[in-house]
Amino acid sequence: MKKSLILALLVFAVFSQCKKDDNPKPVGEQIETGDVIIEENVSSAGTTLVSDKFSLEIAAGTFSTSTAMKISKLENTPFSTDALTPVYFLNDLPPGTAEPMIIRIAGLDLSANPTAFLAEITRVHSADTNKISYRKIEYEVEDGKVKVIIPRTPSIYFKSGNITDEKLTIGVVVAKSQQTIVSSNGHFQLTSPVSKLAKAAEIADYLEEAYSLFNNAPFSFDYSARTVWPMGVTLLPMDNSLFGEQVSSVWGDNYATLSFNSDKLNEMSEMRITAGHEFFHFVQSLYDPRSGFMKAKFASSHYWLDEAMSVWAEEFFSGSTGYSSPIRVGNEPAPYEGGLNETKSDVRGYGYGMSGMIKYIADHFGINSMKAIYEQIHLEESPAEAIRLGLDKYYNSWYGLMLQEYTKSAIYPDVSTGLLVGLKAGEFNVNNENDTVMKFEASYKQLASNIYTVSIKESAVTDLSTLSVVADQQSDQMINIYKIKSATIPPELVGSGSGSVAVADIKILAADGYKFLVVLTNLTYNSNNAASSLSFTARISKKQTYKTFSFNLSVMCHYTYHYESGNPTTVDGAWHSAGFIELPLTQNGNILTASWNGIYGYPSSGNATITLNEDGTVTAEIHQLDLDLIASHQIMDCVITSLPLTSDNWSATTYYSDISYPYIQSLYWKETYSNFYIECDGFFTDPQYGNKNVMLRLFK
């Protein structure tokens, strides 16, 4: 006989005016619906189709035009020997039928107290594929026959309008030895094999626990989009790898259901976790702005976010603190991948791994952030933008810190040193004194990281040697350096920064068997999803003794002219420069000091304190008083902070930025003449003035 295959990969017409949910990504595979028993064209006048004990009544006006009806029966049902009928499928039904249809099945043993189930081919959230799902449907007994009323098929709705050329497949099966119970608070109706009813009652309690958790503070999710309770829940045999699944329906949120594997009821601790995970998927679906048909048939753009949040939420149902879901295994690298809005080859696995980010958000910004994020999803924001807007925080303020914790195994313990070393994009091996520099260059997706290892032989360095990693560009980036020894001991952070990071005492660490893990992160995030080419330089260098220094500063200032008579005049945007030639230094560890007098051939004095920071940057306080032939005197007080290292060669170490204002902590400048003086007590931080620079050089 002919077999009927329903192609779950539905293909939609593409319109020029399509919106976000009008270009869906299909999921699934061909679903077999059994042997064809009736194939006939039905006009708008309606008819009754009969095959053996089965009949289908189609009322006049149900179809607006002639419709090819194909009815099949599938003998292989999940109800096995309890099935009283095959699954009768109505294949390729048009959407938007005007009247219900009536199925009648004769010859059943009604003393077996049968239960009817509606079969629907729909996308199953956790499986990310289309399957046949089953939920209890009411029936009547009429003239000794089971009578099931099939609801009118819903219209397929898009923002661009209704599309009428897509088809739905719906089925009915009748089984015996089933019983239905309602949960304690009335939110769930569970249909289960009679022999497993006690376990069904436990699952009912788990579901009520989940209902309460996500509905109340601090989660506070709103369930009002579903107006009909209880929710249908079906216990039936499933694939051995599954404990349960959430199922959307083409009829919308009020028809969404849950299914649980009746063959897994000896593992109730895992079943409790599954109940929480899958019910949370239903809660998330209430914030999905797409139509019921879209939710039932296609994955959303925020699918990975759904999985990330549900995997994190499993901890609340695990009965233990520090819980890490086993489905994270193999997906731990996800937070390093970046590209939060990009299509992933394994979207589900990516979501499992991104549970680490969700846990960080919950721990640092509050569990109530979850609802705020999904409120943005409801407004049709992308997942990455929903997180940014929901948190009201830019990624560069927290994402790097999240990765810092994640790498240390401080979020989930399953992020091991061995795992991270296996992700490395390159390595810097220091085997002798000539191995001093290594460039790490790569293209980075937004919020993506690359991991490198640095291995140092003790004999290749001295007691004064340091390891530094310097960014070769000014960008939103983070450099984290960890010391590592064993594959099973978490990395330990030894240095962190944006422009440069330095680690001292590397000879001692090398002697103790430590290597280094360098995690470089692109913190750029914007709507264009463009990647960035970033370069970082790793360098082995010795602590230096510096003899002299020079300083140059250029900045846009607020100038005020003060006259002996008249009101002050302010000039915005006037530029100021200052600097001097090499001056002698005195060094005490990482503190360099200098003082001078008369260096220009006229009375001039000043002093400076320069601090070499552990992160490879420099801080300087400079005070100068000049007396020359033009002005009566000139005063400058300036504090520069965290100026990054840009080059280090045999003659000098240079700290430089071609944008000066981010590194100026304070600036005061005054120039006094015979009848007026000019005073600068502030500077511009606008990007349009960013072409002014600052440079401090230390000569060896």
Residue 26 banded pLDDT, cuts 50, 70, 90: very low
C-alpha radius of gyration, the chain, whole number: 35
Q: Is 163 exposed, middle or buried (0-12, 13-18, 19+ CB in 10 A)?
A: middle
Residue 438 banded pLDDT, cuts 50, 70, 90: very high
Q: How many Å apart are CA 230 and CA 189, to the nearest integer?
A: 6
Q: How many Å apart are CA 659 and CA 687, to the nearest integer?
A: 9
Q: How many Å apart are CA 329 and CA 352, to the nearest integer?
A: 9
Query: Of 493, 535, 542, which Cα lies nearest the Cα of 518?
Result: 493
Q: How many Å apart are CA 616 and CA 498, to the nearest integer?
A: 10
Query: Of 636, 690, 688, which Cα lies nearest the Cα of 662?
Result: 690
Q: For the chain, what is the largest distance between any 2 Cα atoms, rounded to a whole number of angstroms?
A: 119
* pLDDT tens per residue across span 548-583: 888 887 777 777 778 777 777 766 655 566 666 778
- Straight-line distance from the first to the last Cα atom of the chain, in angstroms, rounded to the nearest whole number: 91
Task: Give the DSSP H or E segment for 336.
Answer: helix 334-337
Residue 221: pLDDT over 70: yes
Query: Of 143, 59, 45, which Cα lies nearest the Cα of 99?
Result: 59
The residue ranges of DSSP E strands in 101-256, in sequence order, are 101-105, 115-124, 129-137, 140-142, 145-150, 157-158, 161-162, 168-175, 178-182, 188-193, 231-236, 244-247
Residue 25: pLDDT over 60: no
Which of helix, strand or coil describes residue 674? coil
37 or 502, greater pLDDT:
37
- Out of 49-53, 194-198, 273-277, 581-585, pick the least confident: 581-585
- Out of 121-135, 284-298, 354-368, 415-429, pick the least confident: 121-135
Residue type, 42: V
Residue type, 572: D
Amino acid 686: pLDDT: 57
- Cα torsion through 351, 353, 354, 355, rounded to 10: 100
Q: How many Å apart are CA 454 and CA 504, to the nearest integer?
A: 14
Amino acid 327: pLDDT: 96
* pLDDT tens per residue across span 6-19: 333 333 222 222 33
Buried-state track 556-566, b at ≥16 Cβ within 10 A, e below 16: bbebbeeeeee
Q: Are 44 and 63 in contact (CB under 8 A)?
A: yes
Task: Give the DSSP H or E segment for 296.
Answer: helix 292-297
Q: What is the mean pLDDT of residues 272-291?
A: 97
Amino acid 502: pLDDT: 86
* pLDDT tens per residue across span 222-256: 999 999 999 999 999 999 999 999 999 999 999 99
- Of the chain, the percentage scoring pLDDT greater than 70 comes to 89
> How many other CB atoms are there within 10 angstroms of residue 271's CB atom?
21
Which of helix, strand or coil describes residue 212? helix
pTM of the entire predicted model: 0.78
Tell the residue number behind the tokens 């195994």, with chain if given: 409
Amino acid 160: pLDDT: 44
Which of helix, strand or coil describes residue 458? helix
528 or 336, greater pLDDT:
336
Which of helix, strand or coil describes residue 439? strand
Q: Is 623 exposed, middle or buried (0-12, 13-18, 19+ CB in 10 A)?
A: middle
Q: Are 157 and 21 in contact (CB under 8 A)?
A: no
Query: Of 296, 344, 290, which Cα lies nearest the Cα of 22?
Result: 290
Q: Is 116 exposed, middle or buried (0-12, 13-18, 19+ CB in 10 A)?
A: buried
* pLDDT tens per residue across span 135-154: 999 999 999 999 999 999 98
Strand partners, 123: 130
- Cα torsion through 372, 373, 377, 382, rounded to 10: 140
Q: Are 367 and 360 in contact (CB under 8 A)?
A: no
Residue 589 banded pLDDT, cuts 50, 70, 90: confident
* pLDDT tens per residue across span 603-639: 678 888 998 886 778 898 888 776 655 555 677 788 8
Q: How many Å apart are CA 630 and CA 624, to the nearest integer?
A: 17
Amino acid 660: pLDDT: 75
* pLDDT tens per residue across span 93-126: 998 999 999 999 999 999 989 999 999 998 887 7
Buried-state track 575-584, b at ≥16 Cβ within 10 A, e below 16: ebebebeebe
Question: Per-residue DSSP letters for 457-511?
Answer: -GGGS-TTEEEEEEESS-SSEEEEEEEE--TTSPPEEEEEESSEEEE--HHHHHH
Beta pairing class for 231-236 and 188-193: parallel
> How many other CB atoms are there within 10 angstroms of residue 224's CB atom?
6
Q: How many Å apart are CA 175 and CA 86, to the nearest integer?
A: 9
Residue 659: pLDDT over 80: no
Residue type, 261: N
Beta-carbon contacts of 456 under 8 Å, excluding residues fewer than 6 positions away, are 430, 467, 506, 509, 510, 515, 516, 540
* Alpha helix (H) residue ranges in 32-123: none
Looking at every residue in the chain, the average pLDDT score rounds to 87
> How many other CB atoms are there within 10 angstroms of residue 413's CB atom?
11
